[in-house]
Amino acid sequence: MYAIIRTGGHQFRVKSDEKLKVDLLEAEKGSEVEFRDVLMVSDDDRTEVGVPFIEKAVVKAEVIDHVKDKKVSVFKKKPRKGFKRMRGHRQPYTVVKIREIDFGG
C-alpha cells in the first residue's frame, strides 16, 4: 500500500515504515503528525485519486528528528568591479517515519 501526499509544497510517494525527509515541521521529537493533503492512495485491490484531495484519507507519521541538510555555498562575482560575495545556506528538515496510511472508510 502506498500514498501520495503533499507537504511543504512538495509531493511524496510514501509507504508504511518508510523514513522521509520533509521541510521543517513545528512538532516535537517523538510526537505524531498527520498529513491530510492526500492526493492518491493505492493498495492491491483498489486505487483512489482525489480531486484534488481525498476527503477522509490520512497518513500518520512519527517525528524522528530535526536536522539540517548539507551546506550550499553561494558565490557571486562581477568581473572588473571588485565585487565578490560568499554566502552559505543549510536547509532545515524534519525526518519522519510513516506509521499508517488510512483510506478513511
pTM score over 0.85: no
Q: How confident is the model at residue 105 (pLDDT cuts 50, 70, 90)?
A: low
3-state helix, strand, coil in the chain (%, to 5): 0, 60, 40
Which pLDDT does position 35 carry in this prediction? 95
Looking up cell 501520495 gives 4
Determine which of 55-59, 63-67, 70-74 has the lowest per-residue pLDDT on average. Answer: 55-59
Compute the residue count for the chain: 105
Counting Cβ atoms within 10 Å, is residue 87 exposed (0-12), middle (13-18) or buried (19+)?
exposed
The mean per-residue pLDDT over the stretch 42-49 comes to: 88
